[in-house]
Copies of this chain bind each other. A is one copy, B any other.
Amino acid sequence: MPRRQQPKPYHHGNLRRALLDATVELAADVGAAGVTLREAARLAGVSQTAPYRHFNDKQEMLAAAAEEGMVLLLEALQAGIRGAKGDPDAELVAISVAYVRFALDHTRYFRLMFGHGSPHKSVTPGLQQAGRAVFQLLLGIVARSLKKPPADPAARQAMFRIWALAHGIAVLALEKQILFDIGTDALLAATRQAVAAQLPL
């Protein structure tokens, strides 16, 4: 989506939006590490210090963009489990596949959220909260699969195993640590298979 080339009034109109778009754009290759406050300002057609009107510093700008990505991830995961109505084990496979698929489909956001230079979740309450929502969604399914309360240590451990599996696949795929080629379909199939092998928890 290319941004309009307006006659450029003194007030930008929606600078915050433009800066967040620029942030995601710049994160495409290297992740948050490739994002520069000055370059984002340039893309938004604004002076180098204008971003400070909207964010206290670079970390907050990154965190705001990562938060948007986290909300997108949450929605993708929720949509993913919709197919497996009710059955927790089917939901676990579906949510894991959705996680890896999100990493492949929204690479720029995923890199921004988890790649090089990504902001710590503690930077912003909003980012932390969005991360917690994803966490809770997964934990809830695991708990139902185990028929234990979410607070149970066993549930947390099991959740961690599933998450680590999906996250590990996504990260290795994105960072090209995979020394052999593997297509999208094969990757999703591998995810399905790997998670299924963990069941029943």
Contacts and interface: CB of A to CB of B under 8 A. Distances in A.
Interface of A: 33, 114-118, 120-121, 131-132, 135, 156-157, 160-161, 163-169, 171-172, 175-180, 182, 186, 190, 193-194, 197-198
Nearest to A100: B164
Given A116-B116, A194-B164, A197-B198, A132 B171 contact: no
A120 B182 CA distance: 19
A93 to B, nearest CB: 14
A135 B167 contact: no
B164 A168 contact: yes
Nearest to A166: B168
Copies of this subunit: 2
A186 B132 CA distance: 22
Given A116-B118, A198-B194, A168 B179 contact: no
5 contacts: A116-B117, A131-B177, A161-B194, A163-B168, A167-B171
Contacts of A169: 160-161, 164, 168
Given A114-B177, A115-B116, A168-B168, 14 more contacts: A33-B33, A114-B175, A116-B117, A131-B177, A156-B182, A157-B182, A157-B190, A161-B194, A163-B172, A167-B171, A167-B172, A171-B171, A194-B198, A197-B198
A172 B170 CA distance: 12
A182 B164 CA distance: 14
A97 B198 CA distance: 17
A169 B168 CA distance: 7
A33 B35 CA distance: 13
Given A116-B117, A171-B171, A194-B198, A180 B164 contact: no
Best-surrounded residue of A117, A177, A193 (most CB of chain B within 10 A): A177
Contact of A117 (B114, B117, B160, B186): B117
A153 B120 CA distance: 37
